[in-house]
Amino acid sequence: MSAPPLPAGTLVEVRGASFGYGGRPALEAVAFGAAAGELVGLVGPNGAGKSTLLKLVAGLLAPRAGTVRLAGLDPHAAPRREVARVCALVPQEPQLHWPFTVREAVMMGRAPRQGLLAIADRFDRGAVEGALQACDLLPFADRRLDALSGGERRRVFFARALAQEPRVLLLDEPTAFLDLAHQVAAMRMAAEAARAGLCVVAVLHDLNLAAQSCHRLVVLSRGRVVAEGRPADVLTAERVSEVWGVPVWRGENGATGAPVVLPRGP
């Protein structure tokens, strides 16, 4: 499909990007954009190319064709420190192998903005305190990461990304392995980050959470963008059934008007 016009304030710009692993194509001529103040969801079945696309935007992979720009930078060619001042990535399974405290882990997000000796100043400490407060982690600040639940650790890595003070926040399956309450909390934090002016792009599997939270959805199937737009326009019963290969019922949330998609049966 042709690329739609990009909104004002666009920070993520992908044009005709293709990528493959060995001889297997993962993305083919993908185009999309995301602007400051937006929460954009990347949705599609397993193997559609969602996480690969996020890695292209983060600069962890280089497109074999096409271009990727992050606030005007080529994220793969630019120095990593420069990219980290623009973009923060919360990976699907974030890990730290040492028993750092929550505050220490969040302070690591300040590394791109610190000097060679990484000595924290009042700006670093202020950013960390703000991130801890935003993610409701102040009561846990001095606890070790290995003493936290999975949902609490997810919040720590989200806070670390916020402490980085990025303009673009990339989230790879932020609701994976979380119970319903923590899924809702994760999407609420993503939405609040967008309201604060960040450009947020998230890989999501739960279509109903995506529809409830995102301004726009980009639907990928077999490495291609097959639809892009408002959740209500994109998540039709016909499209979901075709892309995911499952007959679905499509209705509306009576409280919010957001689309609701459910399988028709086992």
Round to the nearest angstrom and report the end-to-end CA distance of the chain. Answer: 32
Do residues 107 and 79 both lie within one domain?
no
The domain spanning residue 72 has which CATH number?
A: 3.40.50.300
Alpha-carbon gap, residue 154 to 178, rounded angstroms = 9
Last residue of a domain, one of 165, 185, 219: 165
Q: What is the pLDDT of residue 1?
A: 46
Whether 241 is in a domain gets the answer no
Q: For residue 103, what are the domain limits? A: 96-165
Tens digit of pLDDT at every position of the chain (266 positions): 445 555 557 999 999 999 999 889 999 999 999 999 999 999 999 999 999 999 999 999 999 999 999 999 999 999 999 999 999 999 877 776 778 999 999 999 898 887 766 777 889 899 999 999 988 899 999 999 888 887 788 889 999 999 999 999 999 998 887 888 888 888 998 999 999 999 999 999 999 999 999 999 999 999 999 999 999 999 999 999 999 999 999 999 999 999 999 998 76
Instruction: Give the pLDDT confidence score for residue 7 in this predicted structure.
Output: 57
Residue at 262 is within a domain: no
In a domain, 246, yes or no: no
Q: Using CA atoms, how far apart are residues 131 and 126, in angstroms rounded to an integer? A: 9
C-alpha span between 73 and 149 (Å, rounded)? 37
**61 and 171 both lie in a single domain:** yes
The answer as to whether 259 is a domain residue is no
Tokens of 218: 């980009």
Question: Which residue(s) pair with 64 in the sheet?
Answer: none
Hey, what are 43's tokens?
Answer: 């949705």
Same-domain check for residues 172 and 222: yes
Same domain for 105 and 27: no
Domain-located, residue 188? yes
CB atoms within 10 A of CB 158: 26
Stated pTM of the model = 0.89
Q: Sign of the C-alpha dihedral, residues 41, 45, 47, 48? A: negative
Dist. CA 188–CA 136, nearest whole Å: 12
Q: Which of 149, 165, 181 is the last residue of a domain?
A: 165
Same domain for 118 and 78, yes or no, is no
| Whether the Cβ atoms of residue 64 and residue 19 lie closer than 8 Å to each other | yes
**Burial class (CB within 10 angstroms; exposed 0-12, middle 13-18, buried 19+) of 251:** exposed
The letter for the amino acid at 134 is A
Please report the pLDDT score of residue 91 as a whole number. Answer: 85
225 touches 52 (CB < 8 A): no
Give me the number of domains the chain comprises.
2
Q: Of 128, 146, 165, which one is at a domain's C-terminal end?
A: 165
